């Protein structure tokens, strides 16, 4: 079931080998039989299916972790931050300096994700994978910068293959270092301009019209959206001219790693690695919004079984998010019209997933509770 | 703004006076100015509006509790249980005995709400307002039975006015006894047959076609839904013949207390009282599904300002729930296709409301954090 990257590593350096090993460790989630879990859910003291999407989440957790799933109380939120070369083209409502400024705000505890992390009793770590500006040493911030922002993807490749894999491994290591004391991960990001990058990646991977996945991001006006769309099209045209996105697998160029290198960004690469590492460890990982879902698409293309570890938190106001979740076959739990990022939606879903696991772990069966089951349809 | 019950108390007994006093204590939530809170939300380090419905919840919490709202960590879930005379007409997929059996299951910790209460760190209390079968003395269960189930609303009034008010006061007392150690309440119910009662109440109060608010409840088949609809129509016809639901306020008969007495049930009466008591104390109260929303409609009819204290958790799979939430002007936070009751949805929303309060309490402003604000729309 596992499919490695479409193109074999072109050099045998350590990073390439580490990525190959990571991908090779990802297996489908089969720690419980789906039909057995469904049957058991229907024996519990509730009308069959009455816990709705929570039951589907419970089923997927059982397949990943075993039935019953263990508690999911040791929570870790990872926010990956990086800058994007295309930010200079006016694709965001905010200047690029905001990426670094928001890193400081998160370190100081004043950002939305800080508040939400406290409200869901989760650890929170910010990882600088590629912020453009120098950051002072900040508490709770991991300095893992691969380079100071990506290159402008309209002019040329955003990253080298080597930088791309380094970014992936930063994300993987961030998860691996926390496996011993984390039951569940929530992933988010920070990076001015990154809805443009995520839109281009999504269009290239899913072969959908770029116009259907470009949105207002942090709050562009109509003219801003037009400018963003033109930038996205220019990047796609450049990459298409190189043959990376011609969609023909036979050409050997439809490689998600190549796309990630051509388009960026480093926080997306790190998110790919974090998802892959969580999947390899059989640990549930909750994805946030449009940018993290773009990373999930790449992770699932690199290793389709990785999808079994991924849980969707919410469907954001960014129009491409629903397209991505549909392609991933994931159903979100929250309906909050969020469009902030920073893992806010993923973090808010953490108590819901603990509740889903608790259903299988703690609820009584009709028989054990001595409760009458359904009566025949006619009186 | 406060409007007392449409009909003045017909006797001066203590319960009637207690209800009048309760209603008189309910005031609109104006502890913060809405525009001031909206403006402050837009100064916080996030794109304006990017926390979606969480920001709307934060605004409403600030108006109810002051800006910033205090923590909402001391949580109390109240589940009111009662039986319905119409259960004998085959309006549910389960026999009436299940109401009492599920009370025992909740007391033993094996019901869905027990699991979810643990997952959101909330106290949980079950209140027997009118279960038909004898219940043994159970831990964590308050014995406040008004009568052993309602009468059959097709044959005659389900409750007397006196019983109805007694039920309301049971609910009010359940909240009032917990005000000292509760920041936020979540309300739910348990009662075989009560989606039929809630549907009839909703149709009568909102003057909507009963067919649009009758659903499958715990899982009726098509024939069961037809039977349920016929029972609901028979109850409405009987009440209409008495002039209670002619919709003409001038007749003095469009009194929500009269409707509640004619149709029942005791858990719905208690939920009305719990909502009114929370509103009178200025304490937020999260409503669960279709049955609790029917109680919210009655509470808001008795005292329109009560609505300011009510927060919608989710929109259930029961079709009438969206109709009720629309009439109440409330927007749910969760999208889980729940249809279980027991306060499960309300409980799951508790961490979201704490997060909403935390946004106003803990987030930094752009200015304080030294973060650049939005740039001009053109480059």
pLDDT in tens, B52-84: 999 999 999 999 999 999 999 999 999 999 999
What angle is formed at CA A86 by the lines to CA A80 and CA A87, rounded to 5 degrees? Answer: 70
Q: Flag the least confident range among A4-8, A263-267, B196-200.
A: A4-8
3-class DSSP state of B181: helix
* Distance between CA atoms of residues B146 and B126, nearest Å: 15
Please tell me the predicted confidence (pLDDT) of residue A253.
Answer: 41
Statement: residue B10 has pLDDT above 60: no
Per CB-CB distance under 8 Å, the chain B contacts of A69 are: none
DSSP B258-302: HHHHHH--HHHHHHHHHHHHHHHTT--EEE-SHHHHHHHHHHHHH
Dihedral sign for Cα B174, B176, B179, B184, please: positive
Statement: residue B148 has pLDDT above 80: yes
Sheet with B75-82: strands ordered across: B141-143, B123-130, B75-82, B184-190, B285-287, B310-312
3-class DSSP state of A343: coil
* Distance between CA atoms of residues B324 and A355, nearest Å: 27
**Does ipTM top 0.90?**
yes
Per CB-CB distance under 8 Å, the chain A contacts of B334 are: 333-335, 352
Please judge whether B119 and A354 are an interchain contact, meaning their C-beta atoms are less than 8 angstroms apart: yes
Predicted confidence band at A249 (pLDDT cuts at 50, 70, 90)?
A: very low
CA A153 to the chain's CA centroid:
21
Work out the average pLDDT over B314-327.
Answer: 95
Residue in chain A lying closest to B71 (CA): A119
Per CB-CB distance under 8 Å, the chain B contacts of A52 are: 317, 336-339
Give chain A's length: 379
Buried b / exposed e over A218-232, threshold 16 CB at 10 Å, is: bbbeeebbebbbebb
Predicted confidence band at B307 (pLDDT cuts at 50, 70, 90)?
A: very high
Q: Which of A59, A72, A116 to mutate to test the interface with B (most CBs of B within 10 A)?
A: A116
Picking from B166, B127, B167, B130, the residue whose alpha carbon sits closest to that of residue B150 is B130
Per CB-CB distance under 8 Å, the chain B contacts of A118 are: 358, 362
Statement: residue B248 has pLDDT above 80: no
Which ranges of chain B does DSSP label H, i.e. alpha helix? 14-24, 34-43, 52-65, 97-108, 112-119, 161-176, 194-206, 222-241, 256-263, 266-280, 290-302, 320-328, 344-362, 366-369
* Distance between CA atoms of residues B315 and B167, nearest Å: 26
A14 sits in which H/E element: helix A14-24
Q: Running DSSP on this structure, what letter comes out for residue A314?
A: B
Please tell me the predicted confidence (pLDDT) of residue A7.
Answer: 38
For residues B212 and B327, the answer to whether their CB atoms sit within 8 Å is no
Picking from A22, A345, A310, A284, the residue whose alpha carbon sits closest to that of residue A170 is A22
Per CB-CB distance under 8 Å, the chain A contacts of B362 are: 109-110, 114-115, 118
Please judge whether B377 and A223 are an interchain contact, meaning their C-beta atoms are less than 8 angstroms apart: yes
For residues A155 and A49, the answer to whether their CB atoms sit within 8 Å is no
Structure tokens at B379: 């480059």
Q: Other CB atoms closer than 10 Å to residue B313's CB: what's the count?
A: 29
* Distance between CA atoms of residues A76 and A122, nearest Å: 6
* Distance between CA atoms of residues B84 and B92, nearest Å: 11
Q: Mind telling me how many Å the CA of A183 is from chain B's nearest CA?
A: 14
Please judge whether B358 and A118 are an interchain contact, meaning their C-beta atoms are less than 8 angstroms apart: yes
* Distance between CA atoms of residues A125 and B284, nearest Å: 32
Q: Which of B44, B48, B52, B93 to mutate to test the interface with A (most CBs of A within 10 A)?
A: B52
Q: Mind telling me how many Å the CA of B254 is from chain A's nearest CA?
A: 34
Predicted confidence band at A258 (pLDDT cuts at 50, 70, 90)?
A: very high
* Distance between CA atoms of residues A343 and B105, nearest Å: 37
Structure tokens at B305: 């300002």
A62-102 pLDDT tens trace = 999 999 999 999 999 999 999 999 999 999 999 999 999 99
More confident residue, A338 or A252: A338
Predicted confidence band at B379 (pLDDT cuts at 50, 70, 90)?
A: very low
CA B315 to the chain's CA centroid:
12
* Distance between CA atoms of residues A80 and A188, nearest Å: 6
Statement: residue B9 has pLDDT above 80: no
> What backbone torsions phi and psi does residue B353 show, to the nearest 5 degrees?
-70, -35
Residue with tokens 């449009």: A290
A134-147 pLDDT tens trace = 998 888 899 999 99
Picking from A43, A45, A46, A40, the residue whose alpha carbon sits closest to that of residue A69 is A40
Q: Specify the pTM.
A: 0.93
Q: Which of A40, A124, A336 to mutate to test the interface with B (most CBs of B within 10 A)?
A: A336
Please tell me the predicted confidence (pLDDT) of residue B335.
Answer: 84
A110-168 pLDDT tens trace = 999 999 999 999 999 999 999 999 998 888 899 999 999 999 999 999 999 999 999 99
Q: Flag the least confident range among A193-207, B142-156, B286-300, B360-374.
A: B360-374
For residues B291 and B198, the answer to whether their CB atoms sit within 8 Å is yes
Q: What are the residues whose beta carbons fall under 8 Å from the beta carbon of A11, sequence distance 6 or more?
A: none
Q: Mind telling me how many Å the CA of A221 is from chain B's nearest CA?
A: 7
Q: Mind telling me how many Å the CA of A171 is from chain B's nearest CA?
A: 24
A6-45 pLDDT tens trace = 334 445 489 999 999 999 999 999 999 999 999 999 999 9
Please judge whether A221 and B101 are an interchain contact, meaning their C-beta atoms are less than 8 angstroms apart: no
SS3 content of chain B, % helix, strand, coil (to 5): 50, 10, 40
A265-323 pLDDT tens trace = 999 999 999 999 999 999 999 999 999 999 999 999 999 999 999 999 999 989 999 99
Share of chain B above pLDDT 90, in %: 87
Statement: residue A375 has pLDDT above 80: no
Residue in chain B lying closest to A219 (CA): B47
Please judge whether A339 and B109 are an interchain contact, meaning their C-beta atoms are less than 8 angstroms apart: no
Catalytic residue among A342, A354, A362, A367: A342
Structure tokens at B365: 């402003």
Q: Which of A102, A359, A374 sits opposite B219 (nearest CB)?
A: A374
Q: Mind telling me how many Å the CA of B350 is from chain A's nearest CA?
A: 10
Please judge whether A101 and B361 are an interchain contact, meaning their C-beta atoms are less than 8 angstroms apart: no
3-class DSSP state of B121: coil
Q: Running DSSP on this structure, what letter comes out for residue A265?
A: -
Please tell me the predicted confidence (pLDDT) of residue A139.
Answer: 86
Residue with tokens 């949105």: A215
Please judge whether B355 and A348 are an interchain contact, meaning their C-beta atoms are less than 8 angstroms apart: yes
CA B200 to the chain's CA centroid:
16
A233 sits in which H/E element: helix A222-242
Per CB-CB distance under 8 Å, the chain A contacts of B333 are: 334-336
Q: What are the residues whose beta carbons fall under 8 Å from the beta carbon of A249, sequence distance 6 or more?
A: A6
Share of chain A above pLDDT 70, in %: 93
Q: What region, left, alpha or beta, does residue A6 occupy, with left being phi > 0 and alpha being psi -120 to 50 degrees?
A: alpha
* Distance between CA atoms of residues A83 and A128, nearest Å: 10
Please tell me the predicted confidence (pLDDT) of residue B354.
Answer: 97
Q: Which of B124, B317, B340 to mutate to test the interface with A (most CBs of A within 10 A)?
A: B340
Please judge whether B45 and A110 are an interchain contact, meaning their C-beta atoms are less than 8 angstroms apart: yes
Please tell me the predicted confidence (pLDDT) of residue B324.
Answer: 98
- Respond yes or no: is residue A342 known to be catalytic: yes
**pLDDT, averaged across chain A:** 92
Structure tokens at B253: 């008969």
Interchain CB contacts (distance < 8 Å): A and B: 227
**pLDDT, averaged across chain B:** 92
Catalytic residue among B16, B163, B262, B342: B342
């Amino acid at each position: 079931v596992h499919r490695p990257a479409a193109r074999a590593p072109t050099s045998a350096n350590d990073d390439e080998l580490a990525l190959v090993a990571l991908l090779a460790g990802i297996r489908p989630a089969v720690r419980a039989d789906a039909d057995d879990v469904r049957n058991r859910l229907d024996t519990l003291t509730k009308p069959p299916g009455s816990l709705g999407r929570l039951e589907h989440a419970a089923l997927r957790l059982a397949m990943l972790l075993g039935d019953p799933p263990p508690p999911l109380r040791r929570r870790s939120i990872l926010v990956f931050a990086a800058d994007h070369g295309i930010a200079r083209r006016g694709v965001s409502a905010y200047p690029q300096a905001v990426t670094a400024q928001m890193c400081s705000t998160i370190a100081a505890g004043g950002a939305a994700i800080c508040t939400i992390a406290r409200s869901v009793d989760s650890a929170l770590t910010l990882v600088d994978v590629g912020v453009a500006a120098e950051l002072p040493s900040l508490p709770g911030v991991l300095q893992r910068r691969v380079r100071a922002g990506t290159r402008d993807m309209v002019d040329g490749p955003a990253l080298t293959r080597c930088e791309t894999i380094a970014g992936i491994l930063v994300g993987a290591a961030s998860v691996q270092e926390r496996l011993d004391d984390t039951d569940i991960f929530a992933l988010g990001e920070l990076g001015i301009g990154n809805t443009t990058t995520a839109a281009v990646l999504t269009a290239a991977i899913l072969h959908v019209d770029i116009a259907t996945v470009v949105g207002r991001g942090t709050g562009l006006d109509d003219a801003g959206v037009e400018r963003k769309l033109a930038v996205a099209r220019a990047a796609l045209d450049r990459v298409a001219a190189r043959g990376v996105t011609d969609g023909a697998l036979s050409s050997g160029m439809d490689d998600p790693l190549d796309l990630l290198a051509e388009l960026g960004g480093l926080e997306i690469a790190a998110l790919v690695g974090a998802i892959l590492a969580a999947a390899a460890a059989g640990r549930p990982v909750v994805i946030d919004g449009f940018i993290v879902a773009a990373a999930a698409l790449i992770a699932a293309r690199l290793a389709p079984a990785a999808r079994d570890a991924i849980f969707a938190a919410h469907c954001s106001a960014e129009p491409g998010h629903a397209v991505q979740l549909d392609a991933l076959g994931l159903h979100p739990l929250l309906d909050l019209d969020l469009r902030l990022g920073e893992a806010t939606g993923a973090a808010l879903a953490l108590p819901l997933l603990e509740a889903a696991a608790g259903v299988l772990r703690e609820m009584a069966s009709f028989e054990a509770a001595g409760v009458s089951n359904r009566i025949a349809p006619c009186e």
